[in-house]
Amino acid sequence: MDRAEGRVTAAVLIIGDEILSGRTQDTNLGDIARYLAVHGVDLAEARTVPDVMEEIVAAVNALRARYDYLITTGGIGPTHDDITADAIAAAFGVALHEHPEIIAIMTRRWPEADITPARRRMARVPEGGELVKNPVQGPPGFMIDNVFVLAGVPTIMRGMLEDVGWRLKGGAVVVSRTVRVEGSGEGVIAAPLEAVAKAHPTMSLGSYPFFGPDGYGSSLVLRGRDPDEVAATVGQLISALKAAGIDNAQEISA
Amino acid sequence: MDRAEGRVTAAVLIIGDEILSGRTQDTNLGDIARYLAVHGVDLAEARTVPDVMEEIVAAVNALRARYDYLITTGGIGPTHDDITADAIAAAFGVALHEHPEIIAIMTRRWPEADITPARRRMARVPEGGELVKNPVQGPPGFMIDNVFVLAGVPTIMRGMLEDVGWRLKGGAVVVSRTVRVEGSGEGVIAAPLEAVAKAHPTMSLGSYPFFGPDGYGSSLVLRGRDPDEVAATVGQLISALKAAGIDNAQEISA
CATH (domain of B36):
3.40.980.10
Residue ranges of chain A with per-residue pLDDT less than 50: 1-5
Does pLDDT of B115 surpass 90? no
Answer whether A27 sits within 8 Å of B25, measured CB to CB: yes
> Across residues B109-136, what is the average pLDDT?
90
The answer to whether residues B34 and B118 belong to one domain is: yes
* pLDDT reported for residue A89: 98
Q: Which residues, at least 6 apart from A58, have a Cβ–Cβ distance to it below 8 Å?
A: none
Residue B151 lies in a domain: yes
Same domain? B127 vs B181: no
Q: Complex ipTM above 0.90?
A: no
Q: Are residues A210 and A90 in the same domain?
A: no
Span B30-79, pLDDT tens digits: 999 999 988 889 999 999 999 899 999 999 999 999 999 999 999 998 77
Which of B120, B150, B167 marks a domain boundary?
B167
What pLDDT is attached to residue B213? 60
Residues A143 and A227 occupy one common structural domain: no
A 11-40 → B contacts, CB under 8 A: 17-27, 29-34, 37
Mutate to test the interface with A, among B12, B32, B55, B186 (most CBs of A within 10 A): B186
Burial (CB < 10 A; 0-12, 13-18, 19+), residue B54, is exposed
* Whole-number pLDDT of residue A2: 35
Q: Same domain, yes or no, for B216 and B137?
A: no
The pTM (predicted TM-score) of the whole model is 0.79
Cα dihedral sign, A119-A122-A125-A130? negative
CB A210, CB A154: distance < 8 Å: no
> A158 and A45, same structural domain?
yes
Q: Which residues on chain A are in Cβ contact (under 8 Å) with B24?
A: 30
Chain A, window 200-229: residues with a beta carbon less than 8 angstroms from a chain B beta carbon = 211
B3 falls within a domain = no
More confident residue, B222 or B1: B222
How far is the C-alpha of B192 from the C-alpha of B179, rounded, in Å?
13
B128 touches A at CB < 8 Å: no
Q: Which of A22, A44, A79 sits opposite B189 (nearest CB)?
A: A79
Least confident span in A208-212, B69-73, B89-93, B160-164: A208-212
- A127-186 tens-digit pLDDT: 999 999 999 888 899 999 999 999 999 999 999 999 999 999 877 655 778 899 987 776
Residues B109-126: what's their mean pLDDT?
Answer: 88
**Domain assignment of residue B220, given as a range:** 175-253
Please tell me the distance in Å from B31's CA to the nearest CA on chain A: 7
In a domain, B1, yes or no: no
State how many domains chain A has. Answer: 2
Out of B135, B167, B199, pick the residue that ends a domain: B167
Residue B16: inside a domain: yes
Residue B78 and residue B59 share a domain: yes
Q: What is the pLDDT of residue B63?
A: 98
Q: Verify that A45 and A83 share a domain, yes or no.
A: yes
- Residue B230 CB coordination number (10 Å): 19
Say whether B204 and A137 touch across the interface (CB within 8 A). no
Report the C-alpha gap between B153 and B74 in whole angstroms: 7
pLDDT category of residue B253 using cuts at 50, 70 and 90: low
Torsional sign, CA B224, B230, B234, B240: negative
Interface test with chain A among B174, B208, B222, by most A beta carbons within 10 Å: B208
- pLDDT given at position B73: 97
- Residue ranges of A 136-175 with Cβ closer than 8 A to chain B: 137, 153, 155
Same domain, A214 and A104: no
pLDDT band with cut points at 50, 70 and 90 for residue B4: low
Q: Are residues A12 and A131 in the same domain?
A: yes
- Are A181 and A91 found together in one domain? no
The answer to whether residues B127 and B152 belong to one domain is yes
User: Pick from A1, A23, A30: which is nearest to B221 by CB?
Assistant: A23
A3 within a domain of the structure (yes/no)? no
pLDDT of residue A3: 38
Residue that finishes a domain, picked among A167, A187, A217: A167
Q: Is A1 contained in some domain?
A: no
